[in-house]
Structure 1
């Protein structure tokens, strides 16, 4: 079999399309995974329920979407094509990190104490519960994408 200019161009087009096909196959696995992690985080955050605002603020952000304001790093962030995130926070619920990691007692100016709050982790345990399944799901999607792209 000889390689002609036309077959070489056809191969180049197929190879250029590979990354997009792989991304398109992996994205649904990412979306499903972050939805499961967010659901587990909401369930685990029930232990710390006072008003429910923290639980209501837990959101899954899929590929190419933007996280809500106040969710992490003080603002919103746009995910890449192969990124997804579970975030907690909104203008009235900016205490997710305090619930997750707890607080220590500190003395304020004037002698008042801030008190302590024990840690009630919800995001990290939700990730740990789902990590193996998420990794298997994404690996399966990658293998499927490569197999389909090779045909």
Structure 2
């Protein structure tokens, strides 16, 4: 089978990749920052550590402790990966606030004491659910914009 203008088609596809990556990465970061901003505004502000721990990381994300949670959006490659995360060394309790805790026996210096548990105060996933559709739309627009640029480039 033969294609007319196959070389021109290949050039357009090759030109689209770098432009598309840049547009998609920008859209991922903007969407991530928007969701992280909402999560910060929803987070309880007792000390401010929890809200300060919420962030967006581009590329491979490595947690500094096991209690950090995140939601990752991956689009094929290191530079097209964004993680929105909550919790750090100071705000290790982010998941406890988000999901609550069951009644349990306390350890450490208060070993044996009964903790009544705590109610959940969701801040992370409500922000994610609110911002997800808008972020997806932003990424779709970025892909379309990149495709149009590549189509008119050569």
Pairing of 1:140-151 with structure 2 (within 5 A): 140-151=141-152
**What residue in structure 2 maps to residue 20 of structure 1?**
18
Q: Relative contact order (C-alpha < 8 Å, sep 6+): which is higher?
A: 2
Query: Within 1, Cα distance between the matches of 2:112 and 2:29?
Result: 48
Q: Indicate yes or no: 2:103 matched with 1:96.
A: no
2: CA distance, partners of 1:49 / 1:12: 54
Structure with higher strand content:
2
By how many angstroms is 1:18 displaced? 2.4
List runs of 5+ in structure 2 lacking aligned partners. 70-76
The answer on whether the counterparts of 2:99 and 2:121 sit within 8 Å (CA) in structure 1 is yes
Instruction: Confirm or deny: 8 A CA contact 1:67 1:87 kept in the other structure.
Output: no
The residue matched to 2:84 in structure 1 has which SS?
Answer: strand
1: distance between equivalents of 2:14 and 2:131? 33
Q: TM-score, normalised by structure 2?
A: 0.76
Question: 1:29 and 1:67, CA in 2 relative to 1: closer, same or farther beyond 3 A?
Answer: farther
Q: What do the CA deviations read for 1:8-31 (whole angstroms, capped 9, x no partner)? A: 3x6544433422221111111111
Secondary structure of 1:24's counterpart equals: helix
Q: 1:29 to 1:91 in 2, by over 3 A?
A: same
Q: How many residues align?
A: 139
How does the TM-score come out when normalised to structure 1?
Answer: 0.77
Are the equivalent residues in 2 in contact too, given 1:30–1:138 (CA < 8 A)?
Answer: yes
Q: In the aligned structure 1, how far is the partner of 2:64 from the partner of 2:93?
A: 14
